[in-house]
Chain A
Amino acid sequence: MSLLLFGILAVIALITAALMVTARNLVHAVLMMVANFGTVAIMYITLSAPFVAVVQVAVYAGAIMVLFLFVVMLLGEQQLSFDEPFAGQRMAAGVLGLLLAIMLLVTLFTASPAVLQTGLTAEQIGRENAQRVGELLYTQYLLPFEATSILLLIAMVGAVVLAKRRLL
């Protein structure tokens, strides 16, 4: 049952991802990406991680892609041209993507079985999904968490500086 569900979701995710990359129209690409995020979110739910699923929808589909859409509409450049901005871009991207895929597969198959089989305990799955995530973020992963937030802050300030250069 869960394998079948995973299979269907995986196929949908792959199809939407492929359509997103090949779409000529930027708005269609954005839509396909939203569909992809939605499918991945459902996968998280089947993995008993509803909190991550909901955050996926709220942050990526609900906020970031809307901003994408907003910018696409604002700039009005909706049709992509066929020529590459950088010479050999497609080739390089294809090679790098292939390398990444190989690396992921190798990691997956060489990882120790203990890592692969450790699922969530019933306690973690239970009512305290969000609490668990919060606890981990503020104890074990405090430093990366704070570093990420500072990184985001810097990005935001940088964007403001770039946009308001005339006024500074």
Chain B
Amino acid sequence: MDLGLLVEWIIKSVVIMGVLLTGFAYETWLERKVVSKMQFRIGPNRAGPFGLLLPLADGIKLIFKEELTPAMADKWVFRIAPIMSMVVALITFAVIPVGPSINLFGRVIPLRLADVNIGLMYVLAVSSLGIYGIVLGGWSSNNKYALLGGMRSAAQLISYELALGLSLMGVVMLTGSLSLVDIVNAQAGNFWNWNIFLQPLGFILYGICGLAETNRAPFDLPEAEQELTAGYHTEYSGMKFALFFMAEYINMVNVSAIASTMFLGGWRAPFGFIPEWTGPIWFFIKVITFLFIYIWLRATVPRLRYDQLMNFGWKVLLPLAIANVIVTAITMALRQVYAPNAVVTVTFGSLLLMIAAVFLWRSWTSRSMRRRPPLHGTSAEGAARTA
């Protein structure tokens, strides 16, 4: 094997991990700052200018905290769970291209760790493993709140994974490739070539499912404070807790990066005349924008109730995602027969679907979303109350 290639891979891996871990630290800073501004507070301002040293102080605090293991806990699983969460979060980034190939010291170095021909499938498969950390953490803690949080998360992640995968399939069909590099290349040129204009519905579905997959507000039921103290990580402290925390924030970065790659042209600049080497900058801007929206949503939207969450996932998101795939397939077939402007047909189909979705949503919310399940008494009472 080429030794240079091996060194290149090692350097890239180290850089990816370094960037993700530092990025995580400053993401927490960003979140605190943004949320505090939205709530008319000042936020962190003690450690360093603008509180910029706060993540460092947090890290030191977490390292020196006492690590507790609950009595009768399953020690090995309790230890493995946060590690699994963290590993899965870190390796997802391997296939995401952050820029074009550059010439460095006479070597052509592509700005990505790997270009596998099943890149997107890899991302989906790896992120489907992220659930183990949460579920096992909840189970091994020997705590009923933790267990409930873990179970909720298992149900939630399985439900939203289907719609998540299907929402990306439209893009895959249009590109004809599962490789993320090919998907980015297919969006070259000016910004109206980006997939978001061909797949607006797919983009929105992916955004919602991505929120749910990362357990972020308004889908943070696995750690709903009011009901479950802290959910699956109730019993975790010190660095073990920090690993769960890191995994959540790195997953946010992953989801943002995939959304940028799939729908917003990845590292491609909005206009074709901008030189390609600026790629990483554009990628960074796109990811930061998504992260900001994440934080914005957390500060704005209240948490869903559990039955609402399940209904929403199975009865709204999944049918829409399937419909999106079907409409994309039909428009692509029509394109082959009539060969008119493909962009118009696909976008038109997707827009029609979105309008249908809004109507579906409105009629559905008026009927079932506002119906509360009976809290006590007989079901007849509950039915009478809602009628």
Contact = CB atoms under 8 A, between A and B. Distances in A.
B19 interface: no
Interface in B205-258: none
Contacts of A50: 116-118, 122
A74 B121 contact: no
Interface in B177-217: 177-179
B269 to A, nearest CB: 26
A57 B177 CA distance: 20
Contacts of A34: 132
The SS class assigned to the B binding surface is helix
The SS class assigned to the A binding surface is helix
Given A62-B131, A73-B150, A27 B136 contact: yes
Nearest to A58: B125
Contacts of B158: 63, 66-67, 70
A51 interface: yes
A126 B129 contact: no
B357 interface: no
B151 A58 contact: no
Contact of A27 (B74, B126, B157): B74
Given A27-B77, A73-B150, A127-B179, A62 B128 contact: yes
Given A58-B124, A63-B158, A66-B154, A128 B117 contact: yes
Given A69-B135, A127-B179, A62 B129 contact: yes
B161 interface: yes
B147 interface: yes
A50 B126 CA distance: 13
A20 interface: no
A69 B117 contact: no
B70 to A, nearest CB: 16
B154 A69 contact: yes
Interface in A55-107: 55, 57-58, 61-63, 66-67, 69-70, 73-74
Given A58-B124, A73-B139, A127 B117 contact: yes
B155 interface: yes
B132 A54 contact: no
B163 to A, nearest CB: 14
Contact of B139 (A27, A51, A54, A129): A27
Nearest to A34: B132
Interface size range on A against B:
20 to 34
B121 A58 contact: yes
B77 A130 contact: no
B118 A54 contact: yes
B353 to A, nearest CB: 24
Interface size range on B against A:
20 to 34
Contact of A51 (B118, B140, B147): B118
Nearest to B76: A28
Nearest to A49: B118
B77 A31 contact: yes
A63 B165 CA distance: 13
Interface in B276-301: none
A149 to B, nearest CB: 14
A113 B328 CA distance: 45
B141 to A, nearest CB: 12
B154 A70 contact: yes
Interface in B50-98: 74, 77, 80
A67 B161 CA distance: 13
Nearest to A41: B125
Contact of B126 (A25, A57, A69): A57
A6 to B, nearest CB: 17
Given A62-B131, A130-B117, A70 B155 contact: yes
A31 B83 CA distance: 14
B359 to A, nearest CB: 28
Nearest to A67: B158
B132 A66 contact: yes
List of 8 A-B pairs having minimum Cβ-Cβ separation, nearest first: A62-B128, A58-B125, A57-B125, A54-B121, A127-B117, A54-B125, A70-B154, A50-B118
